[in-house]
Amino acid sequence: MGYYLEMEPYYRALPEEKLRQSPALMQAMSILCAMGMDYQGSERWYETLRDFAARSRGGDAREAKGRLAWLDVALPQRGVESLVELFPKIFALLTAREIRLPPFSVTSTLPSLMNGGKDFSPWSKRDSLLYATLRLPVEAVLGRDGVGLADCAMAESRFEKGEDIRDRAMKLLADLERIRRDGTPDMEFAVVGLLARVQMDAGHTQDAEESLHSLRRRLVQAKEHRFLPNLDAMLCRVQLLQADDEAAAVWYRDKAPRDPQCIQTLNRYQYLTQAMVQLVMGDPQGALFTLAPLEPYCQACHRYIDGIQLNVLRAIAEQRLGDEQWREHLYAALDRAQEFGFVRTISQYGAAVLPLLSRCRWQGDASFLARLLAATRKQAACYPNFLSPMQRLDAPLSEAELQVLRLLCAGKSNAEICEMLHIRLSTVKTHVSHILRKLGITRRSQVKDAARRLHLVDT
């Protein structure tokens, strides 16, 4: 998909008469219009290509039919339900050598199969059946892009549903070398992205960070730079889990799209990440502006997972602004998540969404909500500061207060601090009171985390 964006100025500059003479150019115009959310224009070029195929013979007809099949699979506004019947038909045409397909990108350079080039949430409702019946035709149709696809898609479906997929993850890890050798970088990114999410879910952010950095080094060496924007956004999400606000702010300054007036749908993973950083930077209104253009895209292109995350982030932002509309958006996210049985799609927001889940009065499936709350509490325990607004000092700490702060972070009691600094107990209590106020916290147990986020202590 990135190729079409790079070539867009060339395609747009061509006269329409020339475009209508080439199946490749008509295919390009259809997908370019779709990526720019001009779905009417996209369908117009699809119909133009279909008319060309109907009146052509020989090689021209074969090429046009292959590109139509490609668009049937790739166009984002087409749902995935029809693909259940479409893949076997394309497989039969390929076997009979009646068509030849251009290369696919099943992930659109995103770290996901379930939510990559298409959103396959409807398939998750019967993933075992589809795995058994469609695995061979799908892998045959997609060629190199199909290597490892079925196992990765099944693992990701179960992961979204909140299941323990460690055994499946180990199988994918064992298969990674074959995917690198026989498959594509798209599939490698999807597999490594899923493995990193499993590591983050377990509280192992350093392992996830190393997995992603290792992949990044491989991609740079192979000159596969089209993956780097989304890969860097995923690394930013790891930094947000680690409460490394400074690193996240650097990504926001240097790499975030930051142009909601000119939305590019291939960058949606980055837009969602950008909104998370804006929440951390204390700008919930900015997060809402970033998210707003994604809503019509999610609706038109059946992006269920993106829609769930969009509504969760909107609910968090609105709650912080004191807007009671947050309930409406949280309920919309819960309704959709329940439809597919997706738990981790929401629980990944942990401490940021837990207060909202605890206060809401959603009337959906009680057992689903119980599982979701349990998974969310687990994430909140792993990452208690995730997406919380960036710490700022109300006033500078004095040298004496800094000394007391370091001892508090070391777990010392007031009596121990009194003895070590050779000051009165009342003085220690005064210093502690001033430190809490300046850090903007209310409990002594919060001191260490607040001091670390403000870079006042090293550990």
Does residue 147 form part of some domain? Answer: yes
**Which of 252 and 455 is assigned the larger pLDDT?**
252
Distances from the Cα of 68 to the Cα of 24, 71, 331, angstroms: 10, 5, 39
Comparing CA positions, the residue from 341, 337, 319, 320 lying closest to residue 328 is 319
Residues 284-330 have pLDDT tens digits of 999 999 999 999 999 999 999 999 999 999 999 999 999 999 999 99
| 138 and 8 in a common domain | no
- The mean pLDDT value for 352-357 works out to 97
Residue 45 lies in a domain: yes
- Residues 128, 169: one domain? yes
Residue 441: pLDDT band by 50, 70, 90 thresholds? confident
Residue 249 falls inside a structural domain: no
Question: Is the per-residue pLDDT at 361 higher than 70?
Answer: yes
CATH code of residue 422: 1.10.10.10
First to last CA, the chain: 43
Residues 323 and 350 in one domain: yes
Q: Give pLDDT, residue 440.
A: 84
What does pLDDT average to over the chain?
Answer: 92
**What pLDDT is stored for residue 156 in this prediction?**
96
User: Is pLDDT of 204 > 90?
Assistant: yes
Select from 368, 390, 412 the last residue of a domain: 390
Spatial distance between the Cα atoms of 115 and 458, rounded to a whole number of angstroms: 38
Same domain, 5 and 132: no
- Are both 113 and 236 inside the same structural domain? yes
How much of the chain, in percent, has pLDDT values that exceed 70? 98
The SS3 call for residue 115 is: strand
What pLDDT is recorded for position 99? 86
Task: Report the pLDDT value the prediction gives residue 97, as an integer from 0 to 100.
Answer: 85
CB 201, CB 344: distance < 8 Å: yes
Specify the pLDDT at position 184.
93
Q: ∠ CA(143), CA(235), CA(337), 5° rounding?
A: 70
Query: What count of other Cβ atoms lies within 10 Å of the Cβ of residue 130?
Result: 22
Distance CA 124, CA 298 (A): 18
Q: How confident is the model at residue 459 (pLDDT cuts 50, 70, 90)?
A: low
Q: Is pLDDT above 70 for 54? A: yes
- Domain edge (last residue) among 197, 213, 242: 242
Distances (CA, A) of 280 to 53, 237, 269, 272, 385: 52, 12, 17, 13, 10
Q: State the pLDDT confidence band at 260, using cuts at 50, 70 and 90.
A: low
- Tell me the pLDDT band of 427, cut-offs 50, 70 and 90: very high
Are residues 265 and 230 located together in one domain of the fold?
no
Asked whether residue 2 carries a pLDDT value surpassing 70, the answer given is no
Name the more confident of 104 and 44: 44
Q: Does some domain include residue 250?
A: no
* pLDDT for residue 412: 94
> What pLDDT score was predicted for residue 451?
85
Residues 6+ apart with CB under 8 A from 381: none
Q: What is the pLDDT of residue 106?
A: 82
Please check whether residues 221 and 287 belong to one and the same domain: no
User: What is the rounded CA–CA span in Å between residue 262 and residue 223?
Assistant: 27
- pLDDT of 392: 74
In a domain, residue 251? The reply is no
* Domain assignment present for 305: yes
Residue 247 maps to a domain: no
Q: Which of 180, 159, 254, 242 is nearest to 208 (CA)?
A: 242
Reported as half-sphere exposure (CB side, CA atoms, 13 A), residue 200 has a value of 28
Q: Could you list the residue range(s) of the whole structural domain that residue 439 is in?
A: 399-453
Amino acid 1: pLDDT: 61
Final residue before a domain boundary, out of 242, 270, 294: 242
76 contacts 35 by C-beta, under 8 angstroms: yes
334 and 405 co-located in one domain: no
Is residue 340's pLDDT more than 90?
A: yes
Question: Is the pLDDT score of 9 beyond 70?
Answer: yes
Does 249 have pLDDT greater than 70? yes
Q: Tell me, what's the pLDDT at 258?
A: 78
Total domain count, the chain = 4
Angle at 243 between CA 273 and CA 272, to 5 degrees: 10
Residues 116 and 227 in one domain: yes
pLDDT at 246 > cutoff 90: no
**Domain identity same for 317 and 386:** yes
- Burial profile 25-56: b = 16 or more Cβ within 10 angstroms, e = fewer: bbbbbbbbbbbbbebeebbebbebbeebbeee
Residue 439 and residue 384 share a domain: no
Asked, for residue 254, whether it belongs to a domain, the answer is no
Query: Once rounded to an integer, what is the mean pLDDT over residues 176-189?
Result: 94
Is the separation of the CB atoms in 120 and 149 below 8 Å?
Answer: no
CA distance 193 to 188: 8
Task: Please tell me which of 43-47, 140-144, 256-260 the model is most confident about, judged by mean pLDDT.
Answer: 43-47
> Is residue 258 helix, strand or coil?
coil
What are the tens digits of pLDDT across the range 88-115? 888 888 888 888 888 778 888 999 999 9
Per-residue pLDDT at 404 exceeds 80? yes
Whether residues 172 and 279 fall in one domain: no
